[in-house]
């Protein structure tokens, strides 16, 4: 599928979390802000097969996983004065406390907290309702709205700070 993106945005294609980390580091260096909406896998296969893994007589296959780097956490260590880093938090319980913990651990300027327990919003829906939290702990609830409109609302609130 093709993603149509209007300027001033730039699309950088990556295949893995490690590729994404390097691309984000490179692009963030001279950027004003990083709004990290990608849901990067927490783990990756320890090794990858060069060719198809063929069936054998075993009923199971064991794949060892290793932890991927935490891109937001790593970016926050190279953040310069004046740069903003925005993260997202998707939780089914303890939403606000989890979001605040994540914001502190990753040195974020803002975090967008998503309650994924409501099937009418969030994943697999064109609508969402979120809470935007800033570094000072101020919270702004944004009621259910179309995701394309929500993106504009969030960008306006974040960049007017």
Distance CA 145, CA 139 (A): 18
3-state secondary structure of 112: strand
Pair type for strands 84-91 and 33-35? parallel
Stated as kind and residue range, the H or E segment containing 18 is helix 17-28
Q: What is the pLDDT of residues 130-160, one digit of tens each?
A: 999 999 999 999 999 999 999 989 988 888 8
Q: What is the pLDDT of residues 58-104, one digit of tens each?
A: 999 999 999 999 999 999 999 999 999 999 999 989 999 999 999 99
Query: Model's pTM, two decimal places?
Result: 0.83
Q: Where are the domains of the chain?
A: 17-43+59-159
Cβ neighbours for 117, distance < 8 A, ≥ 6 positions apart: 92, 93
Q: Which of 137, 42, 153, 138 is nearest to 90 (CA)?
A: 42
The fold for domain 17-43+59-159 equals Rossmann fold (3.40.50)
């Amino acid at each position: 599928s093709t993603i149509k993106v209007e300027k001033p945005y730039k699309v950088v294609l990556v295949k893995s979390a490690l590729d994404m980390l390097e691309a984000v580091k490179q692009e963030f260096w001279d950027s004003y802000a990083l709004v990290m909406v990608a849901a990067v896998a927490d783990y990756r296969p320890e090794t990858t097969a060069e060719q198809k893994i063929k069936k054998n007589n075993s009923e199971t296959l064991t794949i060892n996983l290793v932890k991927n780097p935490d891109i937001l956490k790593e970016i926050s260590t190279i953040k310069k004065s004046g740069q903003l880093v925005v993260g997202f938090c998707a939780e089914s319980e303890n939403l606000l406390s989890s979001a605040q913990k994540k914001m502190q651990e990753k040195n974020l300027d803002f975090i967008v907290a998503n309650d994924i327990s409501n099937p009418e919003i969030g994943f697999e829906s064109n609508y969402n309702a979120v809470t935007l939290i800033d570094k000072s702990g101020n919270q702004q609830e944004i009621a259910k709205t179309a995701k394309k409109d929500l993106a504009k609302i969030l960008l306006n609130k974040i960049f007017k700070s």
